[in-house]
Amino acid sequence: MTTPKFTYPPPRTQYCLLSFPAPFVLLVTLNRPRDLNCINGAGHVELDAVWSWMDREPSLRVGIVTGAGRAFCAGADLKEWHQSNLDSTPKPSFIAGGFGGLSRRSGLKPVIAAVNGLAMGGGCEMIVNADLVYAAPRAVFALPEAKRGVIVLAGALPRLVRTVGRQRAMEMALTGRNVSAQEMMGWGVVNGVVGDGDGPETPVLERKVVKEALRVAGEIAANSPDSVIINREGVKIGWGGVGVEEGTRLWADMMGARTQDRVNMEEGVKAFVEKRKPVWRTPKL
């Protein structure tokens, strides 16, 4: 694993680890295992900066997020929240990208969630808005906010109902019950449940769920980077709830037409004719 040469320096991080386990791939490991990787106010700002940097950095095409220890992310740092109540200090407002910089992120480049364990509250909100989700068999998902007298505020509910339907979204939001990885895959939130036997002591890069996320990230990174960005926009427009014809028009007008003078389009066709792998250039979107 070698660190690529960056056009822009990566942000300094305290609560997550950045690594580059494959060409064009950024791996973000939430790194507060004693606190089940719950995210505090500074952590939200940090992660938002990481995803923004990934979008700008030409040497990166795909991001993966996972957690150290036995949790993916147990949600908000309630100890920090409680202390702010005691001190009567204002709680930090959510950043534009939402919880962990991800729950309301639009962005340019795809992010894959490799859910190794607990994904609760805000941690679950993050994965609802991830582009692809792979989970370990022992992963557990929940929106337990109603049990704590708080609300699901980071953007998951309108997104969740589009993915799983009204009744299932209501069940998660109103009961706060734990949902298994297998059940979430059946509901369409999780792309695949991967592996067995991995424990919290297993090194991150040796975990089967991370290996699967890396495999899929490699497939994405091998494709034309501008095509990936533009195709992702087309899916997002449809998921956002506009009609299919209006979505097609918006996508074609705003993004599709921009491919016509792309060197990667010419390169992809030429490489196919010449029976070789294409050599992609970094897009300027």
Phi, psi of 155 (to 5 degrees): 105, 0
Nearest by Cα to 155 from 190, 187, 177, 130: 130
Residue whose tokens read 């299919």? 244
DSSP bridge pairs for 145: none
Catalytic residue (choose from 74, 76, 113, 119): 76
CA-CA-CA-CA dihedral for 234, 136, 105, 21, to nearest 10? -90
Query: Residue 9: exposed, middle, or buried by beta-carbon count in 10 A (0-12, 13-18, 19+)?
Result: exposed
Q: Residue 119 CB: number of other CB atoms within 10 A? A: 32
Catalytic residue (choose from 117, 122, 123, 195): 122
Q: Which tokens go with 10?
A: 């990566």
SS3 28: strand
Strand ranges for 11-85 from DSSP E:
16-22, 25-30, 62-67, 71-73
Catalytic residue (choose from 46, 57, 80, 125): 125
- Buried/exposed code over 204-221 (b: 16+ C-beta within 10 A; e: otherwise): beebbbbbbbbebbeebb
Phi, psi of 274 (to 5 degrees): -85, 0
Catalytic residue (choose from 57, 145, 212, 233): 145
Q: Does 268 participate in catalysis according to the annotation?
A: no
Q: Does 122 participate in catalysis according to the annotation?
A: yes
For the annotated catalytic residues, the residue numbers are: 76, 122, 125, 145
